[in-house]
Structure formats: C-alpha cells, structure tokens
A and B are shown apart, each in its own frame.
Chain A
Amino acid sequence: MKKSTILIKGAKVIDPATNFDAVGDVFIQGDTISRVGNCQGCHADKIIEAKDKIVMPALVDMHVHLREPGREDKETVASGTKAALHGGVTALLAMPNTNPAIDCAKTAELLSQIIKKTAQTEVFICGAITKNREGRELSDIAGLKKNGAIALSDDGSSVDNSELMRKAFKAAKKAGLLVICHCEDKTLSQDGAVNLGFTSTRLGLKGIPKESEYKRLGRDVELAKETGARVHIAHVSCKESVEIIARAKKEKVAISAETAPHYFSLSDQAVLGFDTNAKMNPPLRGKDDVEAVKAALRQGIIDCIASDHAPHTPNEKDIEFERAAFGVIGLETELAAAITELVLPGILSWLELSKLMSYNPAKVLGINKGKLSPGAPADIIIVSPDKEWAVGKERFFSKSKNSCFLGRKLKGEVSCTIHRGEIKWSL
C-alpha cells in the first residue's frame, strides 16, 4: 500500500536534535519524517501552508496524572490524551498514583490494556517505587518493567525511609529504570497549604518551607551519587533546589530535573485572594525563586519542562483553601505558558524551548521522540507563535478545569498536532 504523504511548507523549522533552525519545508511519508529543509519536487497528498508558523517536534510530557484507573471522574486515559493532543503533546509519562497504584505486573498490565484501547496518543507507564506508594516495601520492579514501565516514582509522596530509597535506587539501576523523585520532607511541610513567607502570613495559612523540598532533594542527590542510579527530579520550584542540582551536575552525578510552567510563570502572590487553582505541591514560591527557575532553564541546569497535569473535580477545589486538593491541569497550556514567559521575552530561543519540552524529556526517558530529523517518527506540531488566546474553561478537552492560568491571556497556539504521520488535532 502506498504511504500517505504530508508536506508542511514555508515554516520556521526547528530540530533540536541537529540544532536546525531555518525557514523550510517538512515532508512526511507514512509515519516517518522523510525530508527537512527544501522539499521542492516532493508531491504530497496533503499540503499545509505554514508561513509565519513554527514547526517543531511534538511535546514529550514526562509528568502527567491521567487518574485512570480509579478516578475516572477527574480524567481518563482517553480524555487526558485528547487534551494532550490539543496541547501539542504526543508522548507522555503517566504517573502511578492511581487507584490501584501501578505497583506490580498486574496493575501495569491493566493500565497497558486501557492505554491500548483508549489512548489517543502514546502513553508511557511510570511504576511506583513502593507497594501502594506507602513507602514501606519496594514494588514489584521486575514485573513493572516486564509490563511496560520505563520509570519509577512515588510521585505525590516522597519515600521517607532513606535506606529503602537506597535499595530502590540500586534495584532501579539493575533494572535499567529511571527513578523520578518527588522531593518533600513531610516533617517540614506538614499540613501547610502555601509557600512559607509573607504570603502565608498575609493569608493566615500554614506555610510550606522551601527546606521541605531541597533538604530531601539533597538526600536523593547523595543516594544517586552513591548508587549510580539514573535519577530525575520532579517539579523543581525553588532557588535552593536549583543550586543543589547545579552542584550535583558539576560533580557528574547522573541526574536530570524538570520544572512545571507554573513555577516559572507565577509566584506565590497568585494565591492572594485564596484562589485554590493556585494551590499545588510544591507550592508557588517567591519571585526570586521564579527568576532562579527561569535562569536554570536558560543555563540547562533544569533539563525539562513537564506539566505535572493534575486534574481535580470542583468538589475538591471549590472548598476552603486549606482543604482544597493540591494540583493544577497543564497539558493544554504548557506550551503557550512557556512561549509567553520564556520565548517571547527572549529568555529562550525556539531551539532551546524545543529541547526542554521535547528532545530532553525523550532523552531522559530513553524514547525515540523529540526530533525533527529525516528518519524520526513524524510527531510534529505546527504553532502560531504570536496568536493570543484567553484561557477559559470551555477551551479544555481535559475532564477537569482546574487551571492556574484561567482568565489569563497567553500567546502561542498549537494549530496542528501530527502523531505518527497522522493529523490528530487541527484548528
């Protein structure tokens, strides 16, 4: 059978794998990128005129809560992956804090089946580090790996027992799996609701000190150094964490890190007025932390941008601030937030953005994504870089609407998402 072909013409083409950044065409044959640059003479079934648009690899989001199985009222694999395509994401890592938690061969297989039947795009599985994410004994790491897990994390919780974490790092190394660390010392964060500081004082809310994040991060770096495991730090939110990661990288510890768009877009002042959509864990920090995170993205200290997409129903958000659930959705706003806060103000180039949101996360996860080179899978987005849009609930494909960007205007819109050579979303 003849393969279908698509020709994208006259766009600013970005390939982070080869540092290619020039106006040109992209020719897709079947599910693969066939030519990049001048494609004159290529005859395609479909031609997309993309003058003044950016063509770059689709996003790889390595931190997503799809909530299935267990909390299908918040999100499902089907709804979450539809939201992903809308946001320009064609590959994502699903976090294991579901019900049941993904902590053994059987639960991984259950999730695999759901993905096979309902996912609109590629979903990779992250297994739990400990059984039921309770931090007491290691999960069935071999079974998880056998049934598709490519990483391990107890995300949402930190493994408090340091000896158990050491064992986990060793076991993960042996299995060849990445460990993703949610760094939080609960004895410090306790039942805090916002960043500790003037904001918590003004609002009369219990504060979460930055130490709760970076002290635990320090431990995990030490364990990574000692065991040689491949370790990735989730949702970096503060200056001190950035400093620890920078030091660890200088010492050649096998460590990578991500941050989420809210940590470079908003400070803890967004919580003033008790907006529960500005409540997440770790919490929004001070303005100097926001600046530190931005600088770390520019300097390559933080490797990846991931959404930490955390859907919640109104029942869990439209309640008293201290009782409201932590977390915000992000799949459908992450690219625009990054364009608005990082690219348009000149902090990052398009190439650097593409590395942070596609190439690096794919590399960290060890998957063949995030490239726009001939021979690479045709996972591509077309972006209108200056298109401004208002973030409103009606725009989301996610089942949940708890976005911290609601009411804001963002720039940069995904006009087309191609997954394996197929147009899966277009305006």
Chain B
Amino acid sequence: MRWKRKDLLDLESLSPEEIEYILTTAASFKEVTTRQIKKVPALRGKTVVNLFYEPSTRTRISFEVAAKRLSADVINISTEGSSVKKGETLIDTGKNIEALKADIIVVRHSASGAAAMLAQHLKANVINAGDGWHEHPTQALLDIFTLKEKRGKIQGLKVSIIGDIAHSRVARSNIWGMIKLGAKVTLCAPPMLIPPAIEQTGAKVTSDLDEALKDADAINVLRMQFERDGVEAFPKSSEYFKTYGITEERLQKAKKDIIVMHPGPINRGIEMSSEVADGANSAILEQVTNGIAVRMAVLFLVTQAKNEKKHNSH
C-alpha cells in the first residue's frame, strides 16, 4: 500500500490496513535501532519541530531520538520562553514555524483538536503528540506494537484499559486502535471516570477491577491525575490504590502471562505497585524502546504523503 496521509492526528479515522502498515514499517525501523550504527538517512535534510505546549519528557525525547535516527534536524520548542507567552495564536505559531521551512511539526497541546487545527492551516506534516483528552495516536501505536510483538497478533486478544478513561487521550487512541485490529477491549474505572456513551466504540465497560483482570491477555494502566474533575470519589490516593491499584495480589487472579503496560510516568503506589511495575509481566520499558521505532515509522510515512493531495482525516 501507499501511505496517503499528510498528518497523523488520530487513530479513529485510520483503517486497520493503515495501522498495520505503520506497525510493519515500525518493525523494520526497530531492526535499525539494534544495529551498531543506529541511523538511517531517510529524513536527511528534513527539519522536525517538536512544539510542546504541555510539559512532556518521554514523548518529546522519544520523537527527538526517532527523528535523529532518521537523520533529521530537530528543534524543540516549549511554550516557556516562546512568543506563545506573548499571546501568539496556535495557527500563527504554526505558520511561523512553517516559514522557517520546517517539514514536520510534532505538536502536544492541552486543547483537544489543536493538532487537527494546525494540520488544516499548514502545508507541513503535523503529528499529534497528544491533544487534550482527545487522542495520543503514537502512544497507542507503540502499545499495540508492543502487544503484537509479544503475542504475534492483536485479533482476538482481550485488553483491559484501567484508570481515568474520561480524561485520557491514551485511552481513546488505544480503544480505537485495538478495536480496529480485532482486540476485545474492556474499560475499567470508577463510574465518574467513564465518559458518556463510550460503549459505542465497541468497548465493554466495568467498574469492577477483578472482572477487568479476569481472562485479560493484557492490561494498559493509565496514570491517575487527582487534580481532575470526577476524582472526588477518591479523596485520598490510597483509597484509589485499594480499589483500582494493580498489585501482585490482584494479579493472582489474572492469567499468569498477562502483559502489564503503562504509558508512564508511573505513580507507584497509586495506580500500580512497584512490584508489578518492575515485575516479570511488565512491558513498560519495552514500550519505551518500541516508541522510538513507531515514531520513526510515523515521521517517515507522513513525509511520503507530501506530494499527494492534501488529506485531512475528517
């Protein structure tokens, strides 16, 4: 197949074939990262700008490493100390970056739809590195990649996503991506943290952790943020840990080879115990490694669409 999308904004609008194509491309880039010389010239002469309106370490570094392994030049912009603080609009900032002849803009923003808006106004390739509560497509792609690498396929796997689904872009991208590839997805959270009508995605919903763990081939545990709305039911993080925290004891009832994932950074002792995070079932550090291959694939593929007709995902 030929890649047609100028931007990667979400997984909701991708076809299963497109997702598979990214995964296949990522697998070949993963091989590159195991070589002695971990660099290919695929994006030599291209400029990647990481435009981050929210603090992020791992995603930004992952994109930076990925771009550098493709031989691109990388510029990091964080909103601290930029003209964003002087009231410049997102579109103006994007246009200015484009005027500096940036080829790819990787954007992280607190507003849902920010990446889509940039993509609509710019000729540069736009990659969504997380927009509000909407989507975080590369995170889900690396989660899927990790799972597929370990199990050979996604079709038929039972995957439970546990935690604050309502405010999670990671959850939304995971739901779309996993379901498109044929996984059976269960969402587990206190009722207040389940967004309305989410079952229309095809995912099952429960507030019972044991039910979500039972029969699951993998769990993806979300970071808990207690400053959010709807978390009032858990005045103390210890309460949350008691009910929804993933512990070794809890995992006793699950499949022995259950795969434990987490997008990071982990709140140890809140959504997951240290024993689980560092235990034999944990794939958390593999996820980080795979993130580079997946992001190399995405950076590479969007540039391949450059001469095609401008394509918006919606």
Which residues of chain A have a CB within 8 Å of any CB of chain B?
196-198, 200-205, 207, 272-274, 315, 318-323
Contacts and interface: CB of A to CB of B under 8 A. Distances in A.
A352 B70 CA distance: 65
A171 to B, nearest CB: 39
Contact of A322 (B112, B135, B197, B313): B112
A389 to B, nearest CB: 24
A138 B106 CA distance: 52
B133 interface: yes
Contacts of B112: 203-205, 274, 321-322
Interface string B225-257: 000000000000000000000000000000000
Contact of A273 (B114, B133, B135, B312): B312
B27 interface: no
Contacts of A315: 89
Nearest to A321: B113
Contact of B111 (A200, A201, A207, A321): A321
A198 B132 contact: no
Given A196-B196, A204-B131, A204-B169, A320 B109 contact: yes
A203 B133 CA distance: 8
Contacts of B89: 315, 318-319
A187 to B, nearest CB: 14
B135 A204 contact: yes
Interface centre among A204, A205, A274 (most CB of B within 10 A): A204
B111 A323 contact: yes
Contacts of B113: 203, 205, 274, 320-322
B117 interface: yes
A320 B116 CA distance: 10
B200 interface: yes
A205 B117 CA distance: 15
B200 A198 contact: yes
A203 B195 CA distance: 11
B197 A201 contact: yes
A204 B196 contact: no
Given A274-B117, A321-B112, A200 B195 contact: yes
B134 A197 contact: no
Contact of A200 (B109, B114, B196): B196
7 contacts: A204-B134, A204-B135, A273-B312, A274-B314, A318-B91, A319-B117, A321-B117
B201 to A, nearest CB: 8
A201 B135 contact: no
B223 interface: no
A319 B109 CA distance: 13
B90 interface: yes
B89 to A, nearest CB: 6
B198 interface: yes
Nearest to A274: B113
A201 B312 CA distance: 21
B54 interface: no
B111 A322 contact: yes
Contacts of A318: 89, 91, 117, 121
Given A204-B169, A322-B112, A197 B132 contact: no
Nearest to A202: B12
A40 B68 CA distance: 84
A197 B196 contact: yes
B30 interface: no
B166 to A, nearest CB: 8
Contact of A205 (B109, B133, B197, B314): B133
Contacts of A319: 89-91, 117
B172 interface: yes
Contacts of A197: 196-197
Nearest to A199: B197
Given A200-B195, A202-B172, A203-B112, 11 more contacts: A196-B196, A197-B196, A202-B12, A203-B113, A204-B132, A205-B132, A274-B113, A274-B314, A318-B89, A320-B113, A321-B111
Contacts of B133: 204-205
Nearest to B135: A204
Interface centre among B89, B111, B113, B132 (most CB of A within 10 A): B113
A207 B112 CA distance: 13
Nearest to B171: A204
A200 B196 CA distance: 8
Nearest to B169: A204
Contact of A201 (B114, B116, B196): B196
Contacts of A207: 196
Closest 3 CB pairs of A and B: A273-B314, A274-B113, A204-B133
B86 to A, nearest CB: 16
Interface string B82-100: 0000000111000000000
B205 to A, nearest CB: 12
Contact of A198 (B109, B134, B197): B197
Contacts of A205: 112-113, 132-134
A320 B90 contact: yes
A202 B175 CA distance: 11
A93 to B, nearest CB: 34
A323 B116 CA distance: 15
A272 B91 CA distance: 19
Interface in B108-125: 109, 111-114, 116-117, 121
A203 B134 contact: yes
B66 to A, nearest CB: 25
Interface string B128-145: 000111110000000000
Interface centre among B132, B200, B313 (most CB of A within 10 A): B132
B264 to A, nearest CB: 20
A320 B114 contact: yes
Contacts of A321: 111-113, 117
